[in-house]
């Protein structure tokens, strides 16, 4: 009897702990991966709007402190709307700042990193936003940050982010930044949830 009860408890716990089905496309493992996922108590369109409102990132994001949309000549655009094949200049803190942050939180200059990316996918129907590092040739460093949203209940959204690092330079990124990047992905997911549930 006790045994059956504990087996039942175990079963229930594992059902509750199960994550929703993933909407991320399958990727090969690469050299290393940074990823995060979180369930947010806010409607998908509200979360999507926060995710794409880059000018407001400094107000809440402890990892990506600023993200500027530019044209292909690296000149910032007037409207800062994300379009495929536009570029991004990302100022990140790796590891992230200690949350909560706002637009006045000073950066840690020792942890400041700049990334140059190409916006590879903005799908407002399926709520998918991807950008790929173009600092180095793809044969040297191949990494694409994928962020997707899906509905997991009335007014509930599942946020998933993943970036697989491939190519020989990934070993260097792995050694220097893997732990900090993973902390950044986790911190951004938690901060996005806090922002959306405000």
Ligand X SMILES: *[C@@H]1O[C@H](CO)[C@@H](O)[C@H](O)[C@H]1NC(C)=O
Binding site for ligand X (CB under 6 A): 84-85, 118, 120, 134
SS3 for 196? helix
Nearer to ligand X by Cβ, of 105 and 118: the residue is 118
Q: Which is nearer to ligand X, 142 or 191 (CB)?
A: 142
Structure tokens belonging to residue 186? 């986790």
172 touches 139 (CB < 8 A): no
Q: Give min distance, CB of 56 to ligand X, in A.
A: 24
In the complex with ligand X, which residue's Cβ is closer, 19 or 85?
85
DSSP string computed for 57-118 = GGGT-SSEEEEEEE-TTSPBPSS----TT-EEEEEEESSPPPSS--TTPPP-GGGEEEEEEE
Residue closer to ligand X (CB basis): 100 or 137: 137
What's the Rg (C-alpha) of the chain? Answer: 18
DSSP track, 15-64: HHHPPPPP-SPP----SEEEEEEEEESS-HHHHHHHHH-GGGGGGT-SSE
Q: Do the beta carbons of residue 63 and residue 184 sit within 8 Å?
A: yes
In the complex with ligand X, the residue whose CB is nearer, 17 or 75, is 75
Q: In 3-state terms, what secondary structure has residue 194?
A: helix
Q: Residue 108 or 120: which CB sits closer to ligand X?
A: 120
CB of 65 to ligand X, least distance (A): 24
State in angstroms the smallest separation of the CB of 124 from ligand X. Answer: 15
| Minimum CB distance to ligand X, residue 84 (Å) | 5
């Amino acid at each position: 009897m006790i045994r059956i009860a504990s087996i039942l408890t175990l079963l229930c716990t594992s059902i509750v702990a199960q994550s929703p089905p993933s909407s991320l496309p399958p990727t090969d493992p690469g050299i290393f991966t940074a990823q995060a996922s979180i369930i947010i108590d806010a409607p998908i369109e509200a979360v999507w709007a926060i995710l794409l409102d880059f000018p407001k990132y400094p107000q809440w994001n402890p990892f990506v402190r600023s993200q500027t949309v530019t044209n292909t000549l690296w000149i910032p655009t007037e409207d800062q709307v994300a379009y495929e094949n536009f570029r991004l200049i990302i100022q990140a803190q790796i590891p992230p700042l200690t949350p909560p942050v706002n637009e006045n939180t000073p950066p840690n200059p020792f942890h400041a990193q700049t990334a140059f990316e190409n916006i590879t996918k903005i799908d407002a129907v399926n709520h998918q936003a991807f950008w790929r590092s173009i600092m180095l040739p793809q044969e040297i460093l191949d990494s694409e940050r994928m962020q997707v949203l899906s509905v997991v209940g009335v007014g509930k959204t599942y946020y998933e982010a993943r970036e697989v690092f491939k190519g020989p330079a990934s070993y260097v990124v792995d050694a220097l930044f893997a732990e900090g990047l993973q902390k950044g992905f986790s911190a951004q997911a938690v901060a996005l949830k806090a922002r959306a549930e405000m």
